[in-house]
A and B are shown apart, each in its own frame.
Chain A
Amino acid sequence: MLWVLFAVLAVSAVAILLHPLLKADAASTDRQEGAVAVLADQLQEVDRDAERGLLSNDEAEAARIEIKRRLLKLGRRRPARGRAEAGGRGALWASALVVPLVAGLLYAQLGSPGIPGVPFADRQEERGEQAQIAELTERLRERLQGDPEGGPTEGWMLLGQTYMRMGRFAAAASAMETVIERDDAASAMLSQYAEALVAAADGVVTPKARNAIRRAREMDPSNPAASYYEAIALDQAGDSEEAHDLLVSRLEQAAGPAPWMEIFVAQANRIGEAIGRAPVNLAAFAPLAGGAPGPTPDDVAAASEMSAADRAAFIRSMVDRLADRLAESPDDLEGWLRLANAYGVLGETAKAREAYEAADALATDLPSNDPRRQSIREALSELGG
């Protein structure tokens, strides 16, 4: 449909531009004749003004003489060209046809034909879901606030994380703030709190956030999020070299691929570009990360054009594909982790647990401080409980 409309526009452009060819009886006006007509009109105007008494007879006569002199001078002037050149139809055709071509090239650079228009009114369902989440969040907040013991730490963190996802950063920070001074506050909580503060300040690492980052790093020097925001803070304070060093050294310490590494590399390269450091490559730190099969750009583009039901079916088919592949080659730890995560998102806890268990079996070969082992353990305890 879109392409049909584009074609209609392109054809009408050509049609409008070719229109001069049709105008057989086109009138033309000449510069010389135009000037004469204007002067003649001025002459008549002088007559009218004199008749009405707006000009004295002397003034009128002087004006007439002047205009007539100008008319005479015009008459002496040779027209610039004797005869107008005819033809040139080929050039007109060519230029008319060039227009859609150039426009098409431009559009190929700029357009996003795959993205549909989505009026606000068509998004009732999405808004309904969001409203439901908002309501659940509100209920959670009330329950936590009403708790005489101050509410469980995980509860407040969950509330904060939910607010983060809703884009209510200030609310997220204040929810997390309630519990970060508790004894059971972990490094990850502090770095999440710092992230909320930074997001609420439009990306600026405030002193309060910096403080939380410092505490997070004291508790766990390897916490990637804390290192990341420390680097941002350093960069914002003007210590870009130090920021770059920090990011790269943390990447070097990484044991195996992890999802956070990609953003580290991007940030390191952003800072590096400003201070003239050579770009770093993700593959250098995590040889496995680049090669993992996932949805191709085509898959994503296809998914974006589907209805909600189709999209769910599509995601389901991708998950099934992954599950089939893992059944054939079960030694892929990253694959199992992705599958487990996907089942978790789809709400199929039993299958998610199975996948995590498979991953756990493979993870025994890993060093004990590998973050993946920790995340598997966390996930299993969550699913089991």
Chain B
Amino acid sequence: MIPEIGQFALALALATALVQSVLPMLGAARGNALWMRSARSSSIAQLVFIGIAFAALMQAFVVSDFTVANVVENSNSLKPMLFKIAGTWGSHEGSLLLWVLILAAFGAGVALFGSNIPDALKARTLSVQAWISTGFLSFLLLTSNPFERVFPPPLDGNDLNPLLQDVGLAMHPPLLYFGYVGFSIVFSFAVAALIEGRVDAAWARWVRPWTLAAWMSLTAGIALGSWWAYYELGWGGWWFWDPVENVSFMPWLLGTALLHSAIVTEKRDAFKSWTILLAILTFSLSLLGTFIVRSGLLTSVHAFAVDPERGLYILGLLGVTIGGSLTLYAWRAPSMEGGGLFAPVSREAGLLINNLLLATATGTVLFGTLYPLFMEALTGDKVSVGPPYFNATFIPIMLPLVVAMAIGPFLSWKRADLKGVLQRLWFVAVLAGLAGLATWYLARGGPVLAYLSVAIAVWLLIATLREWAVRIRLFDVPTAEAMRRARNLPRAAHGMTLAHTGLAVAMLGFIGSTAWKSEEIVFVQPGSVIEIAGFDVRFDGVETVRGPNYIADRGTLAVSRNGDSVTTLYPERRSYPVARSSTTESAIRSTLAGDLYASLAEPASETVADQGAWTLRILYEPLVNFIWIGAAMLVLGGGLSLSDRRLRVGAPRRASRSGPVATPAE
């Protein structure tokens, strides 16, 4: 019965979205306050009904109700409870349900917390949000119904892909979706502004918290995803330039550009048209990502062609959304008034460079991601575009960006004194150079690019801290006075410092774990000792252990350094009999300086398996944890900025001029 409640609630949500697509938009056009206000209740209704549907599906997973086809395919009665719950969004249908749930959450968020946003803008924005909602809810109900039933129910389910059976991954899609889908509301704001024909400083400020919220969760989602890949896949890498990663990274890059260009719109009334375009493109890339991941295009263009219904539906949605919004943009954007002027050296110019480089970087990633798909579709050849392409194109764009990023915050608006700024920064440059040299002295080896990158990361780190110190006049005035100034600094300023510092920290992690990684892949027998990065790792054999729904071979590795015992690692290979597949559980000794990472590959061969010979993969990745510490700082920085009270300034609220009570019933 409960699955049917979910089904009906979903149908109600679609019907509500249809009404919300029309009524508030008409209300805004005709100045009808009642119709505009209806956006608020229908947004909330959508969230409530999609929430009920989601809860119903989750209930089916929790109690293992195998009358629901989706539960049969993606769960199993033996699965641990946490992963039963995560199974709710583990499948195609479930993840789309989560998608629309988050879409509705952002809509309802604006309805509930956007009291500073003028009625007409809010009504239009929520109507546009309902257009997206209508598209995806109908996609869900017509091609991917999560509440499809089976009767009589099979005895048990077919399990969730055990690779996905992981705490990090259980939490990953919700966060990633929160970011990805969160940009929908920014898109809706942009389209609403185009319809309204008005983009100004106030618009930029009203949109900012929503952009920040989406950006933060996308950042967290991507970081969590790479963390998962790092410790679950057993390859020791944290980023593979895999299409699934790329499609989440592209909205992040453009979203970052948007975050910065919106500052210029807010402060100087400039970059308006560009900001709107970025808002449209960022969400378009999110949609493209959904299309690529959800259409099955990635597995193979051929597989897509065999069962094209779902893919074509999303492709149609994609075409209508992107094509429609860009047409609207082409039509309305030229009429937007230009904003404040600025000199070639100024904060605006710095942010322009940021935007151009980020957009170019997005372009290279987009090309590398789509090229293989087009090639396969056109010629039938499978080509793969891997890390060499991305390293060769992406890094040369990002390094100048980071160099400029350190200078940007020192520049003043309109016209800046570059010479003065560089004078302030020369000693930072010296320190950065010294850091590069020191690394070379310590590491002696690795590519030249790595030393350059270390120097640039240190440059960003120190310059960012220096900028903060200048702002609060640390060292110029007594410390107590400096601290008082720090307290008075707007939270957004602290947020920027934290986020920029976070990027520098993460960069050190990227460089350290890539350039100075040590890796050993060896055959081992009990008693074998492997030396790596100053550690002695002794293999003590493999035993079989049982988990709740898997059987594992667990290796024991005694780690010591200079004869002193450091730790014992237990890498596992788990096999899941129900799903007939296996996973690698790496064992990691994590420290700030670096990770010692061990994973167990298959027995060396069938015949010698009895003698305990195994293939072992051991890695040492210096500074790798800096990546996630840096990512956490980025997210916290965004959070600080979001908490800035200035983001809540809006119009004073006042009683409606024509309250319904005053007018008798029609």
Binding site for B on A (CB under 8 A): 1-2, 5-6, 9-10, 12-13, 16-21, 23-31, 33-39, 41-42, 45, 48, 52-54, 59, 62-63, 66, 70, 80-81, 83-92, 95-96, 98-104, 106-107, 110-113, 115-121, 123, 126-127, 130, 304
Q: Closest approach, in angstroms, between the C-beta of B530 and any C-beta of chain A?
A: 39
Chain B positions within 8 Å of A48 at CB level: 488
User: In the assembled complex, which residues on chain A have CB atoms less than 8 Å from the CB atom of B414?
Assistant: 62
Q: How far is the CB of B467 from chain A (nearest CB, A)?
A: 12
B117-153 vs A, Cβ < 8 Å mask (1 yes, 0 no): 1111100000000000000000001000101010111
In chain B, positions 36-95 with a C-beta closer than 8 Å to chain A are 37-38, 40-42, 44-45, 48-49, 52, 60, 63-67, 77
Closest Cβ of chain A to B161, distance in Å, is 16
Tell me whether A84 and B31 are in contact in the complex, defined as CB-CB below 8 angstroms, given that A31-B120, A66-B340, A116-B67 are known contacts: yes
Closest to A87 in B: B666
Given A20-B37, A119-B64, also A37-B652 (CB < 8 A): yes
Assess the B37–A88 pair: CB atoms within 8 A: no
| Cα A21 to Cα B666 with chains together (Å) | 12
Taking a contact as CB atoms under 8 Å apart, the answer to whether A110 and B655 are in contact is no
> Are the CB atoms of B2 and A117 closer together than 8 Å?
yes
B65 touches A119 (CB 8 A): yes
CB distance from B54 to the nearest CB of A (A): 14
CB of A117 within 8 A of CB of B7, answer: no
B31/A100 in contact, CB under 8 A: no
**Is B658 part of the contact surface with A, judged by Cβ < 8 Å?**
yes
Docked pose: A195 CA to B387 CA in angstroms: 46
Q: Among the listed A92, A112, A127, which residue makes an inter-chain contact with B35, where contact means beta carbons less than 8 Å apart? A: A92
A101 — which chain B residues lie within 8 A by C-beta?
A: 15
Query: How distant is the Cα of A70 from the Cα of B5 in the complex, in angstroms?
Result: 53
Once the chains are docked, how many angstroms separate the CA of A39 from the CA of B653? 16
B516 on the A face (CB < 8 A): no
Selected from B38, B196, B646, the residue in CB contact (under 8 A) with A92 is B38
How close is B98's CB to chain A, nearest CB, in angstroms? 19
Asked if residues B658 and A84 are in contact (CB atoms below 8 Å), the reply is: yes
CB distance from A48 to the nearest CB of B (A): 8
Query: A38 contacts which of B4, B32, B201 (Cβ < 8 Å)?
Result: B201
The answer to whether A112 and B149 touch across the interface, beta carbons within 8 angstroms, is yes
8 contacts between A and B (CB under 8 A): A24-B659, A29-B651, A30-B118, A87-B666, A99-B12, A100-B12, A116-B1, A120-B64
User: Which single residue of chain A is at the shortest CB-CB distance from B77?
Assistant: A120
Q: Are B8 and A103 in contact (CB-based, < 8 A)?
A: yes
A84 to B473, Cβ gap below 8 A? no
- Is B37 a contact of A9 with CB atoms below 8 Å? no
Task: Find B201's partner among A63, A70, A118, A119 (CB 8 Å cutoff).
Answer: A70
Contact across chains for B651 and A113 when beta carbons are under 8 A apart: no
Q: Are B32 and A119 in contact (CB under 8 A)?
A: no
Please, which residue of chain B has its CB at the minimum distance from the CB of A22? B660
- In whole angstroms, how far apart are the Cα atoms of A16 and B52 in the complex? 15
Decide if B65 touches A118 in the complex (CB within 8 Å): yes
Which of chain B's residues have a CB closer than 8 A to the CB of A99? 12, 15-16, 19
Measured between alpha carbons, how far is A237 from B563 in the docked complex, in Å?
63
What 12 additional pairs, Cβ within 8 angstroms, besides A2-B1, A16-B41?
A: A5-B5, A12-B48, A27-B654, A27-B655, A34-B206, A37-B649, A37-B652, A81-B31, A95-B22, A99-B19, A111-B7, A118-B67
- The docked-state distance in angstroms from the alpha carbon of A83 to that of B32 is 9
Distance of A281 Cα from B393 Cα, bound (Å)? 61
Please determine whether A118 and B66 come into contact, CB atoms closer than 8 angstroms.
yes
User: Looking at the complex, which one of B14, B60, B198, B663 makes contact with A106 (CB distance below 8 Å)?
Assistant: B14
Contact A91–B23 (Cβ < 8 Å): yes
Complex CA gap A33/B67 in Å reads: 55
**B225 at the A/B interface (Cβ < 8 Å)?**
no
* Range of interface residues on B (Cβ < 8 Å): 35 or more
- Structural contact, A103 and B12, CB atoms closer than 8 A: yes
Q: How far is the CA of A33 from the CA of B18 in the complex (A)?
A: 31
Query: Which chain A residue has the least Cβ–Cβ distance from B38?
Result: A20
Q: Choose among B35, B115, B198 the residue with the greatest number of A CB atoms under 10 Å from its CB.
A: B35
**Inter-subunit contact B202/A38 (CB<8 Å):** yes
Partner of A59, one of B141, B412, B655, B663: B412
Q: Is the CB of A102 within 8 A of B65?
A: no
Enumerate chain A residues within 8 angstroms of B14, measured Cβ to Cβ.
Answer: 102-103, 106
For the complex, what is the distance from the CA of A64 to the CA of B310, rounded to whole Å?
55
- CA of A251 to CA of B163, assembled, Å: 47
Smallest distance from the beta carbon of A215 to chain B beta carbons, Å?
29
A-chain residues with CB within 8 Å of residue B30 when the two chains form the complex: 85
A-B residue pairs, 6 tightest by C-beta = A34-B651, A120-B64, A119-B63, A24-B661, A102-B15, A106-B11
* Set of chain B residues within 8 Å of A17, measured between Cβ atoms: 16, 19, 38, 41-42, 45
Contact with A along B463-482 (1 / 0, CB 8 A): 00000000101000000000
Is B9 among interface residues, defined by CB-CB distance under 8 A? yes
Chain A residues closer than 8 Å to B654, beta-carbon distance: 27-29
Please, which residues of chain B bring their CB within 8 A of the CB of A100? 12, 15
**Closest Cβ neighbor of B5 among chain A residues:** A5
Min Cβ gap A123→B in Å is 8
Nearest-CB residue, chain A, relative to B3: A117
B650, A34: Cβ atoms under 8 Å? yes
Q: Which residues on the B side are within 8 Å of A37 (C-beta)?
A: 202, 649-652
Provide the B192-206 mask, 1 if CB < 8 A to any CB of A, else 0: 000010101110011
Given A89-B34, A103-B12, A130-B155, A120-B65 contact (CB < 8 Å):
yes
Please name all residues of chain A whose beta carbon is closer than 8 Å to the beta carbon of B382 when the two chains form the complex: none
CA–CA, A103 and B12, complex, Å: 5
Q: Give Cα A10–Cα B66 distance, bound, in whole angstroms.
A: 27
Give complex CA distance A98, B485 in Å: 58
Taking a contact as CB atoms closer than 8 A, the residue among A19, A45, A83 that contacts B41 in the complex is: A19
A84 touches B657 (CB 8 A): yes
In the assembled complex, which residues on chain A have CB atoms less than 8 Å from the CB atom of B149?
A: 112, 115
A119 to chain B: which residues have CB within 8 Å?
A: 63-65
* One of B4, B152, B412, B490 near A112 (C-beta < 8 A): B4
A180 CB to nearest B CB, Å: 25
Q: Assess the B646–A13 pair: CB atoms within 8 A.
A: no
Which B residues touch A38, using CB under 8 A? Answer: 201-202, 205, 649-650
Q: How far is the CA of A5 from the CA of B63 in the complex (A)?
A: 20
Looking across the interface, which residue of chain B has its beta carbon closest to that of A102?
B15
Most interface-central of B3, B38, B52, B156 (chain A CB within 10 A): B38
Chain A positions within 8 Å of B274 at CB level:
none
Does B413 have its Cβ within 8 Å of any Cβ on chain A? Answer: yes
Complex partner residue of B38 from A2, A29, A95, CB under 8 angstroms: A95
B49-A13 in contact (CB<8A): yes
Alpha-carbon separation in the docked complex, A41 to B196 (Å): 23
Q: Are B653 and A9 in contact (CB under 8 A)?
A: no
Residues in B whose Cβ lies below 8 Å from that of A70? 200-201, 269
Docked CA distance A33–B654 (Å):
11
Residues of chain B lying within 8 A (CB to CB) of residue A96: 19
Asked, given contacts A17-B16, A29-B118, whether A35 binds B202 with beta carbons under 8 Å apart, the answer is yes
A42 to B52, CA, bound (A): 42
Which residue of chain B has its CB nearest to the CB of A51? B488
Interfacial chain A residues near B116, Cβ < 8 Å: 29, 34
**Bound CA span A384–B83, Å:** 53
Which residues of the other chain, A, contact B65 by a CB distance below 8 angstroms? 117-120
Chain A residues with CB under 8 Å of B145's CB are 110
Complex: A113 Cα to B6 Cα, angstroms: 11
Contact of A86 (CB < 8 Å), options: B119, B141, B413, B658? B658
Q: Which of B11, B32, B206 contacts A110 (CB 8 A)?
A: B11
The distance from the CB of B431 to the nearest CB of chain A, in whole angstroms, is 25
Are B34's CB and A88's CB within 8 A? yes
Distance to closest chain B CB from A367 (angstroms) = 39
Q: How far is the CA of A106 from the CA of B53 in the complex (A)?
A: 15
CB pair B646 A41 closer than 8 Å: yes
CA distance A118 to B206 in the complex (A): 48
Bound: A39/B204 CA distance, A: 12
Q: Which residues of A contact B659 (CB under 8 A)?
A: 24-26
CB-CB < 8 A to B562: which residues of A?
none
Residues of B within 8 A of A25 (CB): 655-656, 659, 661
* A28 and B119 in contact, given A13-B16, A52-B488 (Cβ under 8 angstroms): yes
